[in-house]
Chains A and B, each alone.
Chain A
């Protein structure tokens, strides 16, 4: 068992574009990183920073211009590696003419699941991602959020050791975030390595043990969320009591006594997910209004 599941060394990827392929676009420049087994790495960065390209290279569907990638010590194009890998690509690339249940059967069979396994796992996974009642719907009729849920389902159906998720939160509604939390928690329990990419860092921070900041195709920084996002000498408290005004006064006094300065004070809010969970109607599990 390798303690490092993903190893990337001096990775370059460039594309020829434009008329007569005369322009050269550097998508990734000299990217090197190592991801320990069982870690959850968040790739963050603005649009066009190379996150999706890096994930495709790790998934073995694209080739680097130079440099090397090893997953469990092997190139990602090896069949033995692909047996342990799952990829949720960006967009909606799954066959639109197939029903969700048929498409999941197809992908599960390609991943090597036996017919008996598929019979139990496919319906269970559709239920788990909230598409149990939509199994007979063609993927072409799915909304963006439903596509993401389906994508999560296909990524986790074979219990992979490495999971690559490109923009997993794109188009997800609040119950969709619950689905994502659920599958990521299960992956952590199995000690699977997860690499997520998003241009919205706040979507990922809670899930990740490490973050990597990409911009302009370069890996700028890498570290734990606290190392990268924490503000030195600044703490946040959430305190519950009967009288919020009294709490605020007491805390201000305590902060000043310790030589500190209060920067912001506001009433604590529930998350939108909690709000939705407490008010949603039974059976409202999809996001029909989010059609593209």
Chain B
């Protein structure tokens, strides 16, 4: 594999103009979560179109010198895929740097950052009538600074009675008035290993599934979790760009980029409904990216991407690369040229 060729393709995806645009947009956006959403959308747009334009350039004439190189076609295609992926990672890194720098510049936060250490509970929502309790156990830990939270909401009756929840964990307890969808949270003492929620009000209380109980522990994530969001975003973007590159072999770059995004969106709509729980996590850019951005939104660190998310992105990259070789029958397309 030629590193120079990989570098050329990476430069075509991560052009200086695109880097400046992404850094500028990330810097200008009001908060970190919005900056991430905005950056991911811009990178997806730029990188997919540019990746899909790589084979288009080959078929319009560039293949005349690439195709005569004494290298197997699969090796040349692999260079293109790796180059496009590298360029995408660089674009996402530019966004990460801009967002993290802006955060450090404005907020200068010093409090400990939390990250999810376990997520559990029932898959389906359940309703607690006055006097009823819900209890969920989780792993104990000797450290300080942990927090548990339970997703809940008030269920409105005809008279809209007051809903009051008593949250207990270890020796700690406190009451929370529930008027809408909210997190019932409480700090955990060392060795606390369960949380109990009791409906002590007059109205019904719903514990919202799937997996409503989250335990958060102090995090040592780099750049207040932004590096982990970069990993989530990169996993999604590399998969999308890989698909666009494959489609670019058989259609124009604009249509290929649009179709790649549409295919991803269709898959996301299929696997994202709540009843599937974390089933959609295998989809790069699916539920796990959403949770990562939610975590950033509440000033916490997300978990790194799951192995299944990384594996599916890698599998998509390899599959599209393997399919690309037979699809690219020639290095020249007279119909396009």
List, in ascending order, chain B residues with CB within 8 A of A102's CB: 4
With known contacts A17-B335, A109-B2, A60–B71 Cβ distance under 8 A? no
Q: Tell yes or no: A224 within 8 A of B by CB.
A: no
Please encode chain A, from 4 to 47, with 1 for each CB lying within 8 Å of some chain B CB and 0 for all others.
Answer: 00000000000111000100000100000000000000000000
> Across the interface, which residues of B come within 8 angstroms of A198, CB to CB?
none
- SS of A interface (majority): mixed
CA distance A91 to B60 in the complex (A): 10
The A/B interface has a contact count, at CB < 8 Å, of 80
Q: Report whether B61 and A82 are in contact in the complex, using a CB–CB cutoff of 8 Å.
A: no
* A15 cross-chain contacts in B, Cβ below 8 A: 334-335
Tell yes or no: A89 within 8 A of B by CB: yes
Does A83 make an interface contact (CB < 8 A)?
yes
Beta-carbon contacts under 8 Å, B1-55 to A: 2, 4-5, 8, 11-12
Known A15-B335, A79-B72, A95-B8: A89·B61 in contact at CB below 8 Å: yes
* CB of A62 closer than 8 Å to a CB of B: yes
Chain A, interface size category, equals: 35 or more
User: Is A121 part of the binding interface, using a Cβ–Cβ cutoff of 8 Å?
Assistant: no
Chain A contacts for B11, CB-based, 8 A: 97
B2 engages A106 (CB within 8 Å): yes
List chain B residues, Cβ under 8 A from A143: none
Q: Is the CB of A87 within 8 A of B68?
A: yes
Q: Are B65 and A98 in contact (CB under 8 A)?
A: no
Which A59-86 residues sit within 8 Å CB-CB of chain B? 59-63, 79-80, 82-83, 85-86
Chain A residues near B331 (CB-CB < 8 A): 61-62
Q: Chain B contacts of A94 at CB under 8 A? A: 62, 65
Residue of A nearest to B79 (CB): A110
Closest B residue to A98 using CB positions:
B8
Per-residue 0/1 for B52-89: is the Cβ within 8 Å of any A Cβ (1 yes, 0 no)? 00000000111111111111100000000000000000
Per the 8 Å Cβ criterion, residues 79-124 of A in contact with B are 79-80, 82-83, 85-87, 89, 91, 93-95, 97-98, 102, 105-107, 109-112
Indicate which residue in B60, B68, B329, B335 contacts A16 across the interface (CB closer than 8 Å). Answer: B335
Check B4–A106 contact: CB distance below 8 A. Answer: yes
Query: Is B220 engaged at the interface, CB distance under 8 Å to the other chain?
Result: no
In whole angstroms, what is the CA distance A8 to B62 when docked? Answer: 25
Q: When the two chains form their complex, are residues A21 and B332 in contact, meaning their CB atoms are under 8 A apart? A: no
Q: List 27 A-B contacts (CB under 8 A).
A: A15-B335, A21-B335, A53-B334, A56-B64, A56-B332, A61-B67, A61-B331, A62-B330, A62-B334, A63-B329, A79-B72, A82-B69, A83-B70, A85-B68, A89-B61, A89-B64, A89-B65, A91-B61, A93-B61, A93-B62, A93-B64, A95-B62, A98-B8, A107-B69, A109-B4, A110-B66, A110-B71
Which 10 A-B residue pairs are closest in the complex by CB-CB distance?
A89-B64, A93-B61, A110-B69, A61-B67, A82-B70, A61-B331, A83-B70, A106-B4, A62-B332, A15-B334
